[in-house]
Structure 1
Amino acid sequence: MPSVETTLRGCHHLTINPWSGALSLRYDKTPRGRGAEILAVLWRYDSKIKTVHGLRSPEVGHLVENPDGSVDLTIPGGKVLHYTRQNGSYVPPPGHMSTLQKWPDGKWERTVLGKRRYRYDQKGRLYAVLDFNGNRATYVYDGGGRYVKRIQDAAGRTVQFTYNDDGYVATYTDWAERVTTFQHDANGNLSAIVAPSGCVTAYEYDANRNLIRMTDPMGHVSEFTYDSQSRVRSWRIGNHPSTQYVYGLDTTRVINALGHATDYAFDSAGRQLSRTDPLGNEETRTYDAEGFLTSITNALGTSQIFYDGLKNVIKYQRPDLTAREYTYDSQRRMLTSKNERSFVTTYTYDSNGNLIRRTDALEGQRNYAYDSYGHIITDTDELGRATSFQYDTYGRRTARIDPYDNQRTFEYDTADRVITATDELERATTFEYDANDNLTRVVNALDGERQFFYNLDQLLTRQTDELGRNTDSQYDDLHNRTQITDALDGVTLLEYDEESQLVAQTDPNGHRTTHTYDAAGRRTGTTDPLGHATAFEYDAVGNLTRATDALGRQTTYEYDSRSRRIRVTDALGGQTSSAYDGTGNVTSVTDPRENTTAYVYDALNRPTSETDPLDHTRSYGYDAVGNRTSMTDPLDNTTQFAYDLLNRLVTLTFPDSTTNQYAYDAVGNRIGFTDAIDRTTQCEYDALNRLTSIVDALNYTTSYTYDAVGNWLTVTDGNSHTTTYTHDALNRLTSETDAIDKSVGYGYDAASNLTSKTDGNAHETTYTYDAADRLTGVDYYDATSVVNAYDAVGNRTSRTDSWGVTTFAYDALNRMTERTEPGDKTTAWEYDAVGNRAKVTDPDGNWVSYTYDAADRMTSATASLWSTTNPVATYEFDAANRLIRKDLENGTYATYAYDALSRLTSLENRESDDTPISTLAYTRDSNGNITAIDREDGSRVDYTYDDLDRLTGAVKVDSQQQTVYDLAWTYDAVGNRLTQVKDSITTTYTYNDANELLSETTGGQTTTYTYDGNGSLATKTDAAGTTTYEWTADNMMGQIMFPDDSTNTFAYDGDNRRIEKADSTGTTRYTWDGLNVLSERDENDATVAAYSHGYSLVKDVGTFVVAKRGEAHQFFHADQIGSTTNLSDGSGNVVQSYDYE
């Protein structure tokens, strides 16, 4: 039955029943421990039951035998169960699955099916409660037999009660000897509860014993008013608006503190028939003759509930007619559950009713064993791996033992609170609590201490971390947190409406975000500190149906009768549709291009296959506990996964049968990794499971240290060179200092935006932000700056830098459609419905358009540099989405082959008549390193590597098997090259402690290097003289001055893209598309070269396809890493070739 419920701190539960208007206040002090579930210690106040006003014996119920042989049994809460006498047996009231038996000695026993037994003495007093595992709670009464004096749990511990002269409870002492005191007024009404901590909650009543005022330990007052029938008419806290109740004939209107009304209708038994929310959305309910809920109808349709003769739910059917079904034994224990896909899970029990086996739909069995008290002592999973548990005398779990016999142990205080937890590596964390059971102190395994402080209402007011830094919180009288003060005194303010809905949040910079809600409490809008508003709309059951962004662009959502999202329509009308199976698994997704991906699941709802729109299927396998054991691609290449007894990945087996192996410590930290060539990397951790060292396959060690809260203090590399870090009180990085004391410093505003960076040259860069925390300005030490502007949804609309103003435009899906640079040079982009780039147009009007297959793989590129009709390049892919062929419009083509791990094994660039342009065959080791490259002419390069996969040798032979070059390298612990031997000539290298190259010496000739405070190259001195390097304020290469006084200069835009280069040959300016160069222009702004790009593995980073320089066209041919190996002309003739060492 619906109620307005408020959970008050300290075991108070306040409810108002909208049918009866009764105010109920429950005070629950049920302890924890063995058999605690049968040891209930609670009292209840009910404004409609005038005989229950003060606290007498705790609610245990009592039994009365009537003259006609029937029995009235009062259970906790005051409800009376009437058992009729028929044929020597007692028949329970409808809907109550219990039996009642009278023993020859006049005592009674009530058995609740599948739960517990209650025993009453000859006077009808409860004296024992037993569960089916033998746990027993015993009730002892005072000398007069009227009041419970003591309750003893199954382990022999007791809670005790004392009473005042009027028979009301005066004190309650739990088994930790903590005393709660109860005070009553002259009329026997409970007037105060004094908690063991001394906190006082006070109560006041009117002449009719209606509770009219409750004052919490902080002095916050809740007030209640009543009508003449003692039904709550209103209630409020402090000076806040009240919640009001208006009663009709079997109807009640509840008007909340914001004035929004919810209407209820009830039948004569007080069962809810309907609920209409403040927006007029109605939910209705029906019941059977015995009062059990049979249907719920709302805007989505009708859900139905079906029962067996014992009133167990046997079927729950949703509006779409899918259903879950259940069966039970005679003790009302569930035997089977069948889901909407007709897969069945079965349950088996022991004679005490404990679940001992769960058998899933794939016959996997999880088994449980129990001790004589009903505690689980072993949990054996579907693979037969057992986790065991140990308990103390009081039923508290003291140890968890995993399948490797590693133990995690726990110690408790007398109040059953964990005070020490010791992990599997015997590292202990300790805990302390206050008298109200609030956690006050945690001391970790390295003696780091975190403290917690609370107000009288037991709300967390301060948290002090291991470095003694405080975070403070303040609350209003509704217990809403209203202020958070961080360790640097930054203040976040939170505001709420009268229903405790967050309506505003002000960050430490004073920037305020606001929220609005509809009458049903759903958020309808958010306005950022700049006044940009986002709006939300919902259907009758609360599903989001429309989101309108700050530019007025709408995304809509549709749902099925089970509130599953079936369609999303974006701001450009593109629709994404989803379908589901009966259990809610997504079975297909159709994108805005109407291409569908399908998914299949096993009986345990694990995805077993995924089929793309081109009917290529990727499949998955699992073990009995749900670990993924295999993944097979559409070409039947299978990767396998093996796990240890704790479900941690230990072996990864690739399709070529090579493996990666992983090792762990007892708490799950990965301590070892062995690659496919059997080389091992080892890791160590501290007592807080923080990585402290990595020892690589060559036994070089990188180590880490931390402060008490886990921030890096130092990182020491394999050469024993240490970088140090400092952080502020909010754990933000404030400085980074390398091994030669070059330092970078960082500053932040109160909202943690980076506001300054001081580099190693002591040059400061400052950053400014708008109220929405978007970067609006960058000011460099050399007086240059960058200014950004944004639209209402955060897209950057302009950038002003030393070159002028660049503007940006976007479509309704926030995809950039135009960029106009100084000089009115506009680059434009177009997209298809799913976001694939469909066309790129450069400032000269040169364009490239792209087509894609149903799996969104690029199939062609048409470049106006070559032809406006015929594709300049077409692409083919295999079922595993790997490029296997590229055809260029000049007749040349490239083919690609791969191994089972999708690593390239051959790349052949050929002319139209199959004449090789460049043919490359790759041999790899088990780690994927290329060990040889063979060309069709018989030439070959062989490569060798060390155990860290660093290249140590390269030997090239020509087609006549004559050595072209023979190279060898050595390295230090961190990868600095120490020596190079080329054709028996050795070059040596030296470095400083910051790994900066200081010198290289070849054949007695030495080249030296110097660096600035940022570690950027400052000078290079060799036999020809000194070359000097200058860097921009943002540490980009600005100028190179050569020994002959010639220079190369470079210029950048505000995004640090190189847009100009000047050297002895002249000036070149660049237009970019992301990382792709679109065109080159000379100093007169005339275009000298234009480029078109095609398919690449990296999104938005294309490979060169064709270029036009003057009137000549160049087609590009590349190796495995995309480096250009050849250029061919428009007729397919090779005009330029490149080779690389």
Structure 2
Amino acid sequence: MNYVTRQFEDEAIDLEVLVPGYNNLYTRVRRFYREGKWSFEDMDTNMVIRTDGTGPAELVVLGSSFLPTDSSRLAFSNGRDQIRRVTDGWRLDAFNGNWREYDADGLIKTTGRESVTMQRYLHTAGKLTGLAGPDGTPVITFEWNGNQISAVEDNANNRVEYEYESGRLSKVTDSHGGVTTYLYDGAGRMNRYVDATGLGHNLTVDGSGYALALLDDSGAGRNFLYSYDKLRREYYFSEKFTNGVIRESWYDAQGSLRMAKINGQLAREVLTDGRTEYLRYGDGSEVVQEYDEFGGVVKVTSPDGAVQRYEHDPVTRQTRRAIDPAGTVNEWDWDSSGNLLEFREAVGLPVQRVSTFTYDASGNPLTYKVTAADGIADTVTTWAYNAQGRLLTQTDPAGRVTKYEEYDDHGFATRKVLPGNHAMEYEWDNSGRKVSETNALGHRWQFEYDAFNNLTATIGTGAKRLETVYNIDNLPVSKKDVLGNTLTTKYGPDGRVVEEKDATGRVTLRAYDVFGRLASVTTPAGDVTSYEYADTDPEGQRPVAIVYPTFTRRFTYNTALRRVTTEDWNGNTKLNTMVNEIDTRGNIVKTTDSLNRVQTFEWDALGRLVRTVKPGGVEERMTWNRFDKVSSYTSPDGKVWRWNYNPDGQLAKDISPEGRERSRTYGANGLLEKTTEGNGDIEEITWDAAGRKTGLKYYAGSAPTTVQKSFTFTWNADNQLTGWTSGNGASATWVLDDKGRKTQETLNYGPFSKTLHWTYNADDQRATFTMPSGEVLTYGYDEGGKLQSIDLPGSGQITWTGRSWSRVTGLSLPGGLTQSFAYDALRRPASMTLNSAGGDPLHSWTLQYDSQNRILSRTMDGALDTYTYDDADRILTASTVVSTYDIRGNRTSMTGTTGNWTYNDDDELTAVGSDVYVHDARGSRTSGGGRTFTWDADGRLASVTTGGVTAAYTYDPFGRRLSKTVAGVTTYYGYSSEGLIAEYDATGAQLCSYGYEPSSPFGQRALWRKTASAVHWYVFDQLGTPWLLVDSNGGVVWRAAYGPNGAANVQIATVENNLRLPGQYFDNESGLHYNWNRYYDPATGRYLSRDPVRDEYNHFLYAQNDLLTKTDPDGLRAKVSVPIPATGGVCRVYTSLDFCECGVSCGVPKLEKKIGGVECKAEVDLNICNDRKSWPPKPKVCAAVGCEKGQCKAELFKACYNFNGDPGKRGEASGLEFGCKLGSGGPELSGGPPPIFNSNDRDGWGY
């Protein structure tokens, strides 16, 4: 609605076409309804030449008047932009680098920006007949019927037709046959239209033609009110929505927004004083922007007082210098064509990084070089082109070459050869959209689009289709999978999601308040989460409270101190508090929890974490290289891990504090081919032409030329793994359905084979599972999609009898046994009771927590245990057992052991008193505790000898143990995706089986153990550690209590049970716990070998020495078993940082700057609630700078820092990554300066 003319306005994009040969350049057909008539965008771009008899006296473009600058009348100006005569007409040059060229009569010919031509216009007899790309190739044609456009069509035959009545546009038929109709009143004013979805919209106007209301046929919409203050020369506009929201806006005479309110509450106000602009918000915060005489921002002051400064080239207006609030300087050098020549980061500081670029005469980049003082030689990427300027090769810093060998007639690359000589082939339609992709193995995918370039279908091998349908606003409304199951989404009038329905009809609802703010989310199970906001926040940019079903989370924002406080409340009881403090650049510098424990963070000038000090004074330091990857980590006791990288940023070597090295080599395709461990063990990897792993070979360091162990892998055409074969004869084959779900698996152990079967429902949930024995388990689900029952043939049914906020509150077992569970307000397990069929309690436990989720006491069947912790949340006392630790978490003493526990610099246990422990150069224990160990070249335990008895083990390629042999007796193991499901003897006879909830975490919380004679039911503690096995009458057949390190004191063992801590299996022959990827020693509370992924600060600890709330079911990393509730929904930029509720990743809006035809983007995304299963949440921050031009896209750098895990692995970064969407033209690279918000920059022209 136009608040000046008070008339209804509309616009529509009928076609949008990617210009062939230009990756991010689109041309479009757009029409406008203004001042009571329809017009086409490209019809209004001609220049009007007004003469006074002696020559041109005034030139008018888009309503803006240009007057002569002198008597020659060769140059005209509107005070900001210039028009000058050229040889064959006129050229308009805008202040922002845009330009237009006209013929002598004012017909537009071309448009562009700086040195780049963007679009050409084709005319016949003074009428626009087509739009063409920069090279003159027609892209869209116009058809005329007299003086009216009757149709437009692109090169892909997408056609839009127009019909008229009484000279007015009455009907538009889009390229998919959708029809939009327009109706008018007697005065020729539009009063109704029906969109292509069939929804009618009704416009009410008064006698002067002023718009009063716009309502759809359901009555939803808005009413309008206008006024004009002549004294203040100010326009007023009000929209009252039928849902009760009232939006009011005030504008000055130039059309700039001066104030906005929502339901009477101030949202923002803009004041100006000379070249200073004040942006004031409803919460009282203010952003101040200062401009130079050319309209460029030179200073921005944030609400927290942080100041960002900019300097611009006086001629080109490019930003050449920026100084951030911490004083860090970045500088840019540009050539006259707008190409970036050099980008200097952190100028003058030790971490300074310099990127330099060279170009050919056409502006295509030739070289990109990065220099930094990190001990790495200059890294250089180069490009080469053919005579037509099409990219031929890209050579990365490691010398690997990507070739672009063939192009189609439109300049799109149809054949690309990757390093390693693997060819990819592509097909493009006339609109420049990729319609097929074929990999080096001949596997082909196809793509379909609608007229607005939305991807509507992806067709995989075997004609498997994924389809998406969009509404008139290009929002996805339904998604259909390859089996025809459909997910649907409904939107409100403002485009916000109001309903999501899954394939089985389960609905998630979103509601909004009278301000249009998210008010609540209701899950299919009926759980409601609601949101509250301050009166000064009518736009709902940050909540002050989120009300969950069982507790309320409140937020306090302090702009001046850059502090956010989060508190959890249960009624009037405060449960916990977390305070985050942020520096002027948006980095978290301090956190304080409810126990007043403080953690601090220091960052370098490039925004990388270089130092943390944790509670108790535990200090860690990191250094970084030019790729924004961690190059060293210094532990609290001064021990240093180092990482070396190849010229292309790939990890080449890691070096432990003891000087042990693990090295990596990569193939011509850039994929890892070989890893050599510190003890000489070798892993070799082979890959196929599609980049899929096809083989593994392992060589022991003692025999480096002899294959000790090997695996090969098979894949289908959809890049899904379908099987493997071991060098020792074991193998597995999988059958997958069209969605890639496993429906059958056959595992060949050698002496025998076992087969599993699965079926699924429409929501991809397990419907049935057929065991190798032929036993079929059937699963049922409730209306919320939660598991409700499992039918066990011959045993009865397990029933989930209650849930509270998705947590199980009741479980009924065959025979009448029941389990009841209770939780505190934060959803932490509080108690469990096992009852007999008659309701008598048989077993129970209760827990008490502190505000940081640490268990302070546990009462198990009346027996009380109490616990204390150090500042790192490690258990110090467990009733009568006391432990101490060094600063790296290694235990130094424990009640019940004699003497000190000692370690080397790699955290390998060397002694407990007089008992000596030895490790090999790979970090695997070879002796100690009365046992000796051997390891295979894959780093897996091959055998253990205890008291003269040797046990030997074999594994599948994923580290799952297939067999163990003790004293000549072999036991085999079978698995499903949930964990161990069966044990077999040497003939394949089933010894026992296990059952789980479908899709539960691997190896955790088995529900039952079954033998040929009986079924017994597990009873767990809060972690999922079994304390009891009972029969269907409640009789205890196995009972254990556990020590502080998880060693079971078995008290009743009528039947055998080897399940222990989550994911662990007890080996009686050694006393060890098999833990999937490693073995755990409960005698020492440590793993026998180093963490394979090495992403925690100490590679041998189990569950970070907290066995009450943390687990490690896969032997790779500790996991919190009592997570802070996941939440969702709202975030906003607060001072320099985004504060988001847990579970939502929100980032600074994408920031863009176009330079010389290049679209450069700097993006920052911070998820302050990353790793929400721990507390405090560990933020993850990502930043990237990249550019696009033509078919090519370059990511100059991307870096992420994840606070979770070992600091040496927290940083993930990449240097330059360059690729083309396979067309002609060279990329023009740039690392543009931080974008600046300009409230007056409404479009590319400013008028």
The aligned counterpart of 1:165 is none
Find the aligned partners of 1:205 and 1:610 in 2 and give their Cα distance: 58
1:972 aligns with 2:886: yes
Aligned to 2:1106: none
CA contact (8 A) 1:803 1:1053 kept: no
Give 2:634's aligned residue: 716
CA drift of 1:685 comes to 0.7
Alignment of 1:596-745 (within 5 A): 596-623=507-534, 624=537, 625-635=540-550, 637-645=551-559, 650-655=564-569, 656-745=574-663
Larger Rg: 1
Query: How many angstroms does 1:1000 deviate by?
Result: 0.7
Structure 1 residue 436 corresponds to structure 2 residue 307? no
Contact persistence 1:232–1:245 (CA under 8 A):
yes
Amino acid of the structure 2 residue aligned with 1:485: T
1:760 maps to amino acid: G
Residues 916-952 of structure 1: CA distance to partner in whole angstroms, max 9, x if unpaired? 5432221222211111112343x22111111111111
* Equivalent in the alignment of 2:938: 1034
Check the 8 A contact 1:281/1:540 in 2, yes or no.
Answer: no
**Deviation, structure 1 residue 555:** 3.8
Tell me which residue corresponds to 1:450.
355
On the 8 A contact 2:45/2:108 being kept in 1, the answer is: no
Unaligned 5+ runs, structure 2: 1-12, 32-41, 373-377, 700-706, 1044-1247
What's 2:1019 paired with?
1117
Give 1:519-538 correspondences, 5 Å limit: 523-537=434-448
Aligned-residue offset at 1:5: 10
**CA positional deviation for 1:442:** 1.7
Counterpart check, 1:385 vs 2:271: no
Q: Tell me what 1:940 maps to.
A: 864
In the other structure, the counterpart of 1:369 is: 271
The verdict on how the C-alpha distance between 1:338 and 1:563 changes in structure 2, with shifts beyond 3 A counting, is farther
- Separation (CA, whole Å) in 1 of partners of 2:253 and 2:123: 51
- 3-state SS, counterpart of residue 75 of structure 1: strand
The AA in structure 1 aligned to 2:629 is: N
User: What is the deviation of 1:836?
Assistant: 1.9
Change over 3 Å in CA distance of 1:469–1:72 after alignment to 2: closer
Closer/same/farther in 2, CA of residues 386 and 478 from structure 1, 3 Å limit: farther
Residue 1035 of structure 1 and its aligned partner are, at CA, apart by 0.9
Q: What is aligned with 1:1140? A: 1042
Q: Cα deviations across residues 223-251 of structure 1 (Å, max 9, x unaligned)?
A: 99987879879978879799888877557
- How far off is 1:341 after superposition? 4.2
Q: Partner letter of residue 296 of structure 2?
A: R
State the 1:761 CA deviation: 2.0
Task: Tell me the CA shift for residue 831 of structure 1.
Answer: 2.0
CA, structure 1 residues 1065+672, in 2 after alignment: closer, same or farther (shift >3 Å)?
farther
Does the aligned pair in 1 maintain the 2:234–2:253 contact within 8 Å?
no
CA shift digits 1:867-899 (9 cap, x unpaired): 2xx21x322333311122222224433222221
The residue identity in structure 1 corresponding to 2:504 is R
Q: Distance in 1 between matches of 2:124 and 2:271?
A: 56
Q: 1:1079 aligns with which of 941, 959, 982?
A: 982
Instruction: Name 1:1019's counterpart in structure 2.
Output: 927
- Per-residue CA deviations over 1:629-668 (Å, capped at 9, x if unaligned) read 3222223x11222223289772121234321111111111
Which of 301, 313, 319 does residue 413 from structure 1 map onto?
313
Determine the C-alpha separation between the residues in 2 that align with 1:1038 and 1:910.
Answer: 44
Give the 3-state SS of the residue equivalent to 1:551 in structure 2.
Answer: helix
Contact residue 262 and residue 275 of structure 1 kept, 8 A: no
1:828 aligns to 2:757 (yes or no): yes
CA 588–238 in structure 1, closer or farther in 2 if over 3 Å, else same: closer
SS in 2 for 1:627: coil
CA distance in 2, matches of 1:314, 1:227: 42
Cα separation, 1, equivalents of 2:655 and 2:318: 45
Name the structure 2 match of 1:93.
Answer: none
Matches within 5 A, 1:31-50: none
Retained in 1: the 8 A contact 2:978–2:998? Answer: no
Contact 1:747–1:755 (8 Å) recurs in 2: yes
CA contact (8 A) 1:320 1:562 kept: no
Specify whether residues 372 and 271 from structure 1 end up closer, same or farther in structure 2 by C-alpha distance, changes over 3 A only. Answer: farther
Q: 1:813 aligns with which of 731, 736, 739?
A: 739
**Match 1:878 to one of 784, 795, 803:** 803
Tell me, yes or no, if the aligned pair for 1:566 and 1:577 is still in contact at 8 Å. Answer: yes
Match of 1:146 in 2: 72
Query: Structure 1's 462 and 305: CA in aligned 2 closer, same or farther, altered over 3 A?
Result: farther
Residues 727, 64 of structure 1: alpha-carbon distance in 2 compared, 3 angstrom cutoff: same
Please give the alpha-carbon distance, in whole angstroms, between the structure 2 residues aligned to 1:259 and 1:404.
Answer: 53
CA–CA separation in structure 2 for the residues paired with 1:221 and 1:833: 48
Picking from 486, 506, 510, the partner of 1:575 is: 486
Compared with structure 1, are the counterparts of its residues 60 and 702 closer, same or farther at alpha carbon in structure 2 (3 Å cutoff)? Answer: farther
Structure 1 stretch displaced more, 687-696 or 535-544: 535-544
Structure 2 Cα separation of the partners of residues 925 and 231 of structure 1: 74
Amino acid at match of 1:796: L
Secondary structure of 1:778's partner?
strand
Q: Aligned in 2, Cα 1:362/1:1113: closer, same or farther, shift over 3 Å? A: farther
TM-score (norm 2): 0.70
- Measure the CA separation in 1 of the matches of 2:19 and 2:464: 41
Please point out which of 900, 904, 918 is paired with 2:829.
Answer: 904
Contact 1:319 1:562 in 2 (8 A): no
Q: Which residue of 2 aligns with 1:464?
A: 369
CA drift of 1:913 comes to: 4.7
- Cα distance, 1:1113 vs. partner? 3.1
The Cα offsets for residues 462-483 of structure 1, whole Å up to 9 and x where unpaired, read as 3322353233345678877665
Partner letter of residue 1076 of structure 1?
Answer: G
How far does residue 212 in structure 1 lie from its aligned partner after superposition? 11
- Structure-2 separation of matches of 1:16 and 1:553: 32
User: How has the CA–CA distance of structure 1 residues 471 and 1066 changed in structure 2, closer, same or farther, with 3 Å as cutoff?
Assistant: same
Structure number with the bigger relative contact order (C-alpha 8 A, sep ≥ 6) is 2
The Cα RMSD (Å) is 4.8
1:553-608 Cα offsets, whole Å, 9 max, x none, are: 33444455655444434333433333332222222222222222222122444332
CA distance in 1 between partners of 2:684 and 2:803 (Å) = 50
Identify if the C-alpha distance between structure 1 residues 821 and 48 changes in structure 2 by more than 3 Å, giving closer, same or farther.
Answer: closer
Deviations 1:129-179 (A, max 9, x none): xxxxxxxxxx642xxx2336797969xxxx999xxxxxx86xxxxxxxxxx
> What's the offset of the Cα at 1:509?
3.4
Aligned equivalents of 1:261, 1:1095: Cα separation in 2: 48
- Displacement of 1:487 in angstroms is 2.1
Offset, 1:543 = 5.4
1:360 Cα deviation after fit:
1.8
Cα distance in 2 between the residues matched to 1:270 and 1:472: 58
Q: Which moved more, 1:232-241 or 1:1111-1120?
A: 232-241
Q: 2: distance between equivalents of 1:753 and 1:403?
A: 47
Report deviation, 1:627: 0.9
Residues 72 and 315 of structure 1, relative CA distance in 2, 3 Å threshold: farther
- Taking a change above 3 Å as real, the CA distance of residues 849 and 231 of structure 1, as seen in their structure-2 partners, is closer
CA–CA distance in 1 between the matches of 2:182 and 2:285? 46
Contact 2:82 2:93 in 1 (8 A): no
Corresponding residue for residue 902 of structure 2: 990
SS of 2:852's equivalent in the other structure is coil
CA drift at 1:369: 1.3
The question of whether the paired residues in 2 share the 8 Å contact of 1:575 and 1:592 is answered with yes
Query: Could you tell me whether the CA contact under 8 Å between 2:234 and 2:252 is conserved in 1?
Result: no
**Is 1:489 aligned to residue 399 of structure 2?**
yes
